[in-house]
Amino acid sequence: MNRMTSADKQRDLIFYLLDNDSYVTSNEIADTLNISTKTVYRIISKINKESNKQVIYSHRGLGYKVMNVDMLRSMSNSEKDMQSISPVERRNRVLKRLLLSSPRFIQEESLWEEYYVGDSVRTLDKKVMRTILLKFNLKLETTNNGYKITGNELSIRNALKDLVNDKNIVDLTQIVDNKNFKQKYDVNFVTRQIEFIEDRLGIKIPYPYNINLFTHLYILLSRYRESKTALKKIIVKRNIETDDQLLNISKEVIQNISIYLGINIDNKEIYYVYEYLSSSSFNGQNILKTEPDDEVINITKSLVSEVYRRLGVKNYDHEIISDKLEKHIRPLLNRLKNNIKINNNLLEQIKLEYGDILDAVAKGTSVIQQEYHLNNIDENEAGYITLYFAQDIEENRRKVNALIMCATGIGTSQLLKTKVHNSFPEIKIVDVIGTNELNGLDISKVDLIISTIVPNKPVKVPIVLVSSLFTEKDKSLLHKRIKEIIN
C-alpha cells in the first residue's frame, strides 16, 4: 500500500471540510482521514498561512469550519493544476526554491509534495537539476532525505537569473502580471527603484537594460529575504572615483533596499548594482561624459573593418559608424568583464530581416574575441550590434539609377516597374522605355538597365535580363548586380 503524501492529506482534509457545513473537531477529522490531530493542526495552519487570510476558522470547543468556501474550492483544484504543468516547469520551480533557500536544507517531501509525482520522477528531476547546476559550478547535496544547493553566491544568482523567464518582457509594466515575479510588493518596490535611478540620471533606461536591472534587484531581495546571503567576493573591474554618479546612485539604491527589508545589506552589493548600471547603454547618451578609451576605439575600429569586409562593403564612412558603435561597445565590454547577460527580444526578427549582416557580425566578433582576449559575445549581443550596421547601411545606401526597358515601354513594363520598386527600394527608376527609344538616349547617369528583351545594339551600361513576371530567380540576379554596383 502506498504511503499518503502531505499533499494527499491536505487534499482529503479540504474535501472533508467542504462536505461539512457545521463545525468538526480535530479528533473527528483525524479519525475519518486516519491521520493524527497534530497533522490536522499543521495542515490547517499551512492553508491559512498560504491564503494570507483565515480560510478555515477555529473555535475552541466546537472545532473547525470553512469561512471562505470559494477560496478553499480553488485550493482543492490545485492537484489538477499541478499535474498539468510540464516536467520542465516543475523542475524549474523546485530548482528556484532550492536556489533561493541555499545553503539551507529542504526536505524532499516538501519540495515535491504539491506536484503529485512518484519516486522515479523525482529521481529523474534530481538528475536533470544536477546537470543544470553543473553549468554554474553548483552542487545539489543531500542528507537525511533533505536537499540543498552549495556554491558561490554569484553563481547562485546567475542560475536564478537563467531560470527567470523574462525574455518576452520588454516593458516594466508587463512584470506585474508575470508569474515569475510573484512577490508583488517587491515588484512595486523594485519598479520604484528603477524610476528613482532614471530620475537621478535624467534619462529613461531602455530595454533590455531596465529589465536586466529589475531582475537583478528582484533576485537580490529574494536571496536576502530567504537566506540573508551576501556576495562572498566581487571584484571591481576598474578604478571608481568617490564622486562617480553611478556609484552614488548605487549606494542609495542599496540603502533603500536595506530599509525596505529591515536588515543590513553588504556593501559589496553596491558595486554589483554599479556594474549593472555601467554595463547599460542609455540610447547613445554618455551619462558619465567620458571619452572612449583606446580599448574601445581599437575594438570598434577592428569590428567595423571585419564586418564590412565580410559583407563586401567598401564605400562607407568609418567615422560615422564608429562614433555610434563606440557608445555601445563601452557598456558591452563591461558586460563581458562582469559576466552580465542580456536578452534580445528582437533576435528572431533580426535573423529574418538582416540575416546576412548578423552572420557577418557573429563571425567578426569571433575574430575580435580572440584578438582582444574577450569573453564570449553571444547571439543576443551580436543581434544588437547588427542593428548598428543595418542602420548605417540603410542610411548610406547609394541609390542605383535604373531604366526599365521592354519591347514597347507600356503595359508589361509598367507592371515590371511596380514590382521592381516594391522589391528594391535602393533602385531609383529614372524612366520606362521601349527598345526603340534606347537609340540616342543619354544614359551617362544610368547605372543599370532592367530589360525583358535583349537590346538591338550594344550598350555600355550593365543589363539584367528578366521576365515580365519578375520571378525569384530574376530578383536574385538583380540583387547580385546591385551589390556589385554599390560596392
Which candidate, 292, 282, 284, 293, places its Cα nearest to that of 200?
Answer: 282
Domain identity same for 370 and 336: yes
Residue 290 has pLDDT above 70, yes or no: no
Find the domain containing 45 and state its range: 6-78
Give the tens place of pLDDT for each residue, 167-177. Answer: 667 777 878 77
Amino acid at 85: I
Taking the C-alpha atoms of 420, 424, 425 and 431 in order, what is their torsion angle to the nearest 10 degrees? -40
304 Cβ neighbours under 8 A, 6+ residues apart:
318, 321, 322, 325
Contact between 444 and 430 (Cβ < 8 Å): no
- Alpha carbons within 13 A on the beta-carbon side of 15: 11
Domain identity same for 355 and 437: no
What gap in Å lies between CA 145 and CA 118, rounded to an integer? Answer: 15
- Alpha carbons within 13 A on the beta-carbon side of 45: 7
Q: What is the pairing mode between strands 448-451 and 463-465?
A: parallel
Domain identity same for 249 and 265: yes
C-alpha grid cell for residue 231?
A: 556576495
Residue 16 has pLDDT above 90, yes or no: no
Residue 265 has pLDDT above 50, yes or no: yes
Domain identity same for 312 and 371: yes
In this structure, which long-range contacts are made by residues 164-169, counting pairs with CB atoms below 8 Å and at least 24 apart in sequence? 164/215, 164/218, 164/219, 166/211, 166/214, 166/215, 166/343, 167/343, 167/345, 168/345, 169/211
C-alpha grid cell for residue 387?
A: 542593428
Number of domains in the chain: 5
What gap in Å lies between CA 257 and CA 274, rounded to an integer? Answer: 15
Domain identity same for 180 and 271: yes
Using the 3D structure, point to which of 396, 429, 444 is the last residue of a domain.
396
For residue 363, the domain's CATH number is: 1.10.1790.10
DSSP three-state, residue 426? coil
What gap in Å lies between CA 343 and CA 326, rounded to an integer? Answer: 20
What gap in Å lies between CA 256 and CA 314, rounded to an integer? Answer: 53
Using the 3D structure, point to which of 380, 396, 412 is the last residue of a domain.
396
Residue 438 has pLDDT above 90, yes or no: no
Confidence of residue 57 (pLDDT cuts 50, 70, 90): confident
What gap in Å lies between CA 133 and CA 131, rounded to an integer? Answer: 6
What gap in Å lies between CA 181 and CA 170, rounded to an integer? Answer: 15
Q: Report if residue 413 sits inside a domain.
A: yes
Indicate the range of 58-67, 111-120, 405-414 predicted with least confidence: 405-414
Confidence of residue 76 (pLDDT cuts 50, 70, 90): low
Q: Report if residue 208 sits inside a domain.
A: yes
Residue 31 has pLDDT above 90, yes or no: no
363 Cβ neighbours under 8 A, 6+ residues apart:
306, 310
Contact between 369 and 409 (Cβ < 8 Å): no
Contact between 172 and 211 (Cβ < 8 Å): yes
Instruction: State the alpha helices, DSSP H only, in 312-378.
Output: 318-338, 347-353, 355-372
Using the 3D structure, point to which of 237, 252, 278 is the last residue of a domain.
278
Which pLDDT score is estimated for 10?
81
For residue 423, the domain's CATH number is: 3.40.50.2300
DSSP three-state, residue 56? strand
pTM of the predicted model as reported, rounded to 2 decimal places: 0.64
Q: What is the pairing mode between strands 56-59 and 63-66?
A: antiparallel
Which pLDDT score is estimated for 78?
54
Query: Residue range 64-70: average pLDDT?
Result: 80
Q: What is the pairing mode between strands 448-451 and 427-434?
A: unpaired
Q: Report if residue 287 sits inside a domain.
A: no
The per-residue DSSP string of 139-201 comes to EEEEETTEEEEES-HHHHHHHHHHHS--TT--SGGGGGG-TT---HHHHHHHHHHHHHHHHHH
What DSSP state is assigned to residue 133?
Answer: H
Which pLDDT score is estimated for 236?
46
What gap in Å lies between CA 282 and CA 288, rounded to an integer? Answer: 11
Angle between helices 153-163 and 87-101 (to 10 degrees): 150
Mean pLDDT of the chain: 84
Residue 97 has pLDDT above 60, yes or no: yes
Which pLDDT score is estimated for 235?
45
Q: Report if residue 168 sits inside a domain.
A: no
Domain identity same for 432 and 479: yes
